Amino acid sequence: MAGEAQDQSIWPLPKFYFSVDIGDQQDLAFQEVSGLETENQVIEYRAGNSKQFSTVKMPGIGKVGNVTLKKGIFVQDNKFWAWFSQTKMNTIKRVPVVIKLLDEKGNATMVWTLQNAFPVKITGTDLKSDGNEVAVETIELAHEGMTIKNG
């Protein structure tokens, strides 16, 4: 049936079209985003008078991993190094980070929001005299929680 709209719910979302907002910097270009994960630590408990000789497992404290962003290096673009160099003993500018997975029209289909993110590691590019790749830098962000929204 040519011309009919196809049901978008039957196909998984492609992951190659996304945008990142860091604080007030909108629509930043990154090559890769990884580490969007959260987990609950497990508490094992057994009462002393339990007739069962095994533990009960319960959800414990939530834990989020660091998020890693990779992007190409551009001339006179040191904003991440400047942000990282502001780190002093427990004082750093913490900002929200919004990662949007986009559809073919550029509309957000999934949105991950990191609360109070700050840089914990920056890795510059590797250098090779016989290489022909683009120079890529990596920034690793710690954060205090993540929310996920659809659309």
For the chain, what are the domain ranges?
Answer: 13-150
Q: What is the pLDDT of residue 21?
A: 96
Q: What is the pLDDT of residue 3?
A: 57
- The reported pTM is 0.83
Whether the per-residue pLDDT at 102 is higher than 90: the answer is yes
Into which CATH architecture does domain 13-150 fall?
A: Roll (2.30)
Return the percentage of the chain with pLDDT > 70, whole number: 94
DSSP track, the chain: -TTPPP-GGGSPPPSS-EEEEETTEEEE--SEEE---EEEEEEEE--TT-SSSS-EEEEEEEEE--EEEEEE--TT--HHHHHHHT-BTTB---EEEEEEEE-TTS-EEEEEEEEEEEEEEEE-----TT--SPPEEEEEEE-S-EEEEE-
